Amino acid sequence: MLTLKENIRNMYCHGSIDKMPAPGEGEYAVYPVNGFLERPANNEGGLDWFGCNWEYIEIAGAPAPDIHNHILQDICEWEKIVMFPDLDAWDWEKAKEIDNVAHIDRENHLVNVIVCNGMFERLHVLMGFENALCALIEEPEAVGKFFDAMVEYKTALIRKLKEHYNPDVITFHDDWGTQKALFISPKLWRELIKPRMKKIIDFAHSCNIGFIMHSCGKLDEIIEDICEIGVDTLQCMDINDLARALEKTEGKMSIQASVHTQDFEARNEAGILTPEIVRETVHKEFMELGKSGRYFPFLPPVSKWYEEIVLEEYLKCRELIK
């Protein structure tokens, strides 16, 4: 029988599991990360370590890039303007203290460090969303060179995290999709992002770190590509065809997905969501997808009445699946 730590490790890294893990079971997630500033500290507004300004958005409960002040106007000028953090000069001992690294029970908990702002996200944080999308189409060569620099930076960051945080896995954030499709064409994603992401993933694996890819939006067109470049677990939204994703990736990648978050919230606001609908919907999904041994839901801390039912039903279903 596996320990809770072994079970979640195997779930993330597509090994054999005893059962789908419960939220937080055998895992310690370093999030929000305050010791290094991919975003402002304490989940608030302010500057990140690239000098980009963020504003706290009350309704989202999180900071978002300041849309009025952009560091970079022209992607062709990025080498002159963008200042990458000096990772060697950073006070990593202080960072570990802020993030309570010394107090982690590593014997019983897998350590998961969240790494925000991948290549695409950093591009639009620096430039603004519209400018970033235009740059991808109009100046792909310049964007490619910037992304190459991002690969060097992210691998250097992972090296520092290995040395000072020693995570078992990292959760790497880069949102690539809208509600209906990718922000850019699959062809452009494959040319500009896919090969560079593979370098980052390969480097993480060389450090014996499992790789969780967090990416919101509709990603169906590139699910197999994501698996192909070595992602161990894709953390995504339930708007994707999860059954097809599990079939197409043939057990080589685990899927952690939200559970009808948008659908349930919309119905709840309209006054047409019932406990019976919630229970029936999630029971069917947990039982069908859970049998693959490669699926488990992303369940944030309960804050709504229907989320209590989702968690309750999940804890029942995971005991039923053999």
Q: What is the pLDDT of residue 62?
A: 87
Q: How confident is the model at residue 211 (pLDDT cuts 50, 70, 90)?
A: very high
Domains of the chain: 4-234 (3.20.20.210), 258-322 (no CATH)
- Strands 62-65 and 110-115, sheet pairing: unpaired
Q: What is the pLDDT of residue 235?
A: 98
Q: What is the pLDDT of residue 43?
A: 87
Q: What is the pLDDT of residue 308?
A: 97
Q: CA dist 136 to 178, 186, 270, Å?
A: 16, 13, 39
Q: What is the pLDDT of residues 157-191, one digit of tens each?
A: 999 999 999 999 999 999 999 999 999 999 999 99
Q: How confident is the model at residue 269 (pLDDT cuts 50, 70, 90)?
A: very high
Judged on CB neighbours under 10 Å (0-12, 13-18, 19+), 142 is: middle
Q: CA dist 228 to 168, 198, 232, 277, Å?
A: 21, 9, 10, 36
Q: What is the mean pLDDT of residues 193-214?
A: 98
| CB within 8 Å of 10: residues ≥ 6 apart | 2, 16, 17
pLDDT above 80 for 322: no
Give the other-Cβ count within 10 Å of 181's Cβ.
15
Q: How confident is the model at residue 19 (pLDDT cuts 50, 70, 90)?
A: very high
Give the full edge-to-edge strand order of the sheet including 233-236: 27-30, 110-115, 169-173, 210-214, 233-236, 254-257, 295-297
pTM value is 0.97
Per the prediction, the chain carries an average pLDDT of 96
Q: How confident is the model at residue 196 (pLDDT cuts 50, 70, 90)?
A: very high
Number of alpha helices (DSSP H) and beta strands (DSSP E) in the chain: 13, 10
Q: What is the pLDDT of residue 296?
A: 97
Kindly state the percentage of the chain with pLDDT values over 70. 100
Q: What is the pLDDT of residue 60?
A: 81
Q: What is the pLDDT of residue 32?
A: 85
Q: What is the mean pLDDT of residues 186-197?
A: 98
Q: How confident is the model at residue 61 (pLDDT cuts 50, 70, 90)?
A: confident
Q: How confident is the model at residue 25 (pLDDT cuts 50, 70, 90)?
A: very high
Kindly state the percentage of the chain with pLDDT values over 90. 95
Query: Angle at CA 259, nearest 5°, toward 257 and 261?
Result: 115
Q: What is the pLDDT of residues 271-295, one digit of tens each?
A: 999 999 999 999 999 999 999 999 9
Q: What is the pLDDT of residues 82-117, one digit of tens each?
A: 999 999 999 999 999 999 999 999 999 999 999 999
Give the other-Cβ count within 10 Å of 125's Cβ.
25
